[in-house]
Amino acid sequence: MYLKVECLGGAFIQSVWPIKGRTTEDWNKVLGYVWDDNVKHWIRAGFCTGDPGSCNTWVAHSSKVA
């Protein structure tokens, strides 16, 4: 459930990112604050698609939600 929240957060960030004039360097800095690889995976998944539908952690492979 918490990984789904991270993914949805990534999708939201993607939706507002261009408005603020943010750069790739800024995005990498944000990800630098995240230590857990699975959390990073789900934040990136949401950010890359910008689609909350891509955040279905219930059907993900167990290695991505463990």
pLDDT recorded at residue 32: 94
CA–CA dist 15, 33 (Å, integer)? 20
What is the mean predicted confidence (pLDDT) over 46-65? 87
Cβ contact 10:42 at 8 Å:
yes
Residue 21, both tokens: 């004039």
What is the mean predicted confidence (pLDDT) over 17-40? 88
> Residue 39: how many CB atoms within 10 A of its CB?
18
| Predicted confidence (pLDDT) at residue 61 exceeds the cutoff of 90 | no
Q: What angle do helix axes 24-32 and 37-49 make, rounded to 10 degrees?
A: 150
